[in-house]
Amino acid sequence: MRRLQAPFGRWEPAPLSEVRERFGGLGVRWWVAGGLAVELAVGRELRPHGDVDVLLLRRDQLTVQQALAGWEWWAADPPGSLRPWARGEELPPGVHDVRCRPGPDRPWRIQVMLDESAGAEWASRRDSRVRRPIDAVGMISPEGVPFLTPEIQLYYKANAPRPKDETDFEAALPVLTPRQRRWLAGAITRSYGKPATAGASPGTGPGHPWVARLRTGPEADPE
């Protein structure tokens, strides 16, 4: 089987209008993710973006091939390499990322990310204990683009924050509601608040710096 090794080639991210056109009307839930999701929540541009991420539930993965018919789909399997994703193939649970492009000599346009679910609940691919009703996973921009709620996106970024993740957190913090702050602080503590060990990801373990900042702000509202 042909495989691609990093670096995988250049990107030319699809605009959000194209993403909405391709994924809208498929009858499944999908959300713009990554830094663009944070920007949609904040309502302004924060920084340049090298790609565009679209999140779907694993159970709906084959609709990607429908939305991007005629394109190439390459699964990160294993992470660090890409291999062709065959038409109709169900990707195994350990595969979460798919890069998509219109043809072999074309730049990558869309990265699809797969997350888990259990019935009517979304479940984090990082920690199945972190859950939420699927109806509460996303928001809709004024332009009609579904996007991942900022607290869920920041939860993923909190695992090993890079400078761009710190930028996103700084921008999103003022717009998070008390409930969003409480949820994010709890999710970070549950998933990343284990005792520090050799080789642990930076920014994790007791005293994650984001948690203290999330708990210093508007008083939490009641459930």
Half-sphere exposure of 171 (CA within 13 A, CB side): 22
- Structural domains of the chain ordered from first start: 4-214 (3.30.460.40)
- Under 8 Å between Cβ of 68 and 82: no
- Under 8 Å between Cβ of 141 and 31: no
Half-sphere exposure of 85 (CA within 13 A, CB side): 30
pLDDT in tens, the chain (223 residues): 788 887 799 999 999 999 999 999 899 999 999 999 999 999 999 999 999 999 999 999 999 999 999 999 999 998 889 999 999 999 999 999 999 999 999 999 999 999 999 999 999 999 999 999 999 999 999 999 999 999 999 999 999 999 999 999 999 999 999 999 999 999 999 999 754 433 444 444 457 999 999 998 655 444 3
The continuous run of DSSP H or E covering 112 comes out as: strand 110-118
pTM, whole model, 2 decimals?
0.89
Is the bond preceding residue 7 a cis peptide, omega within 30 degrees? yes
Nearest CA-CA partner of 218 in 190, 187, 191, 185: 185
Nearest CA-CA partner of 122 in 131, 110, 111, 113: 131
Q: How far apart are CA 214 and CA 33, in angstroms?
A: 21
Q: How many CB atoms lie within 10 A of CB 89?
A: 13
